[in-house]
Homo-oligomer: A and B are copies of this chain.
Amino acid sequence: MTEKVRPRRKLAPRKGVAAAAAARTPQRQARAAARRDAILAAALDEFSAKGFAAARLDDVAKRADVAKGTIYLHFADKESLFQELIRVMLSPMIGAIAALGAGDMPMNVLGERFIDLFVREVYDTRRRDVIRLIITEGRRFPKLAEFYYREVLSRLIETVRTLLRRALERGELADDALVRFPQLLVAPGIIAIFWSGLFDRFEPLDVRAMMRANLDHLFATRRPA
């Protein structure tokens, strides 16, 4: 009987998510939305700095300049806040991914575009912290991992695969390695995200340069000696 202790919660506090259902006034609506955003921004700061478990909602509230109770007007609990944060930060990317599949440029140009997109839209952005959070906390939030895989990763991978298959047929690729492992394209980017948080003080790393070096080799048209 190594059972976990029963959680508290005597009644389902069905608020959180749908605080907008009632308020129709522009005034209130705007104010509420602003607060929600402030809370999300503060949450990102706190979760990024301390990790999910060690982050304190009192600190989130303080940072958002809001009372702790207010958080519970917008989010059901700490976990919902965390998951919502990830969702909100990533949803803009979902649409952007589709747009990526449209172009029809040669590989070397597309590669450059890809690096630029990654650095500008992720690495130099708060989304870098979001990616970090998904990877570091994802194991304990299977729902979150699934959401990320379904809504972002799988789509991104499928899009990239399509582009790569086209390139392969055009003879711009030496083999199907990248079609089988599109992960190789972003791998250096992900590594750089973690490196920057851990070892930059000892040995800084130039993401762009590393990603470019990687791409140059991945797109080489000759097999190894």
A residues bordering B, Cβ < 8 Å? Answer: 2, 50-51, 53-54, 62, 108, 134-140, 145-146, 149-150, 153-154, 172, 174-175, 177-178, 180-181, 183-184, 187-188, 190-191, 194-195, 197-199, 202-203, 205, 209-210, 213-214, 216-225
The answer on a CB contact under 8 Å between A198 and B138 is yes
Bound: A191/B189 CA distance, A: 10
What 10 pairs between A and B have smallest CB-CB spacing? A222-B222, A53-B53, A177-B213, A187-B187, A136-B136, A220-B220, A53-B54, A221-B225, A219-B224, A181-B210
Determine the residue in chain B with the shortest Cβ distance to A176. Answer: B213
Which of B150, B184, B194, B219 meets A135, CB within 8 Å?
B194
Determine the residue in chain B with the shortest Cβ distance to A178. Answer: B213
A146: B residues at CB distance < 8 A: 202
A197: B residues at CB distance < 8 A: 138-139
Smallest CB separation, A52 vs chain B (Å): 8
Which of B177, B210, B216 meets A183, CB within 8 Å?
B210
Copies of this chain assembled into the complex = 2
The answer on a CB contact under 8 Å between A181 and B213 is yes
Residues of A contacting B: mostly? helix
The answer on a CB contact under 8 Å between B183 and A188 is yes
Bound: A192/B199 CA distance, A: 20
Interface-centre pick from A183, A194, A202 (highest chain B CB count, 10 A): A183
The answer on a CB contact under 8 Å between B51 and A199 is no
Given A183-B188, A219-B224, 12 more pairs with CB closer than 8 A: A51-B51, A54-B140, A136-B136, A138-B197, A149-B198, A149-B202, A172-B225, A174-B217, A177-B214, A177-B216, A180-B210, A180-B213
Determine the residue in chain B with the shortest Cβ distance to A188. Answer: B187
The answer on a CB contact under 8 Å between A199 and B135 is no
Can you give 30 A-B contacts (C-beta < 8 A)? A50-B140, A51-B53, A53-B53, A53-B54, A108-B225, A135-B198, A145-B198, A145-B199, A146-B202, A149-B199, A149-B202, A153-B199, A174-B220, A175-B213, A178-B213, A181-B188, A183-B205, A183-B210, A184-B210, A187-B188, A187-B190, A187-B214, A190-B190, A190-B191, A216-B223, A217-B220, A220-B223, A220-B224, A220-B225, A221-B225
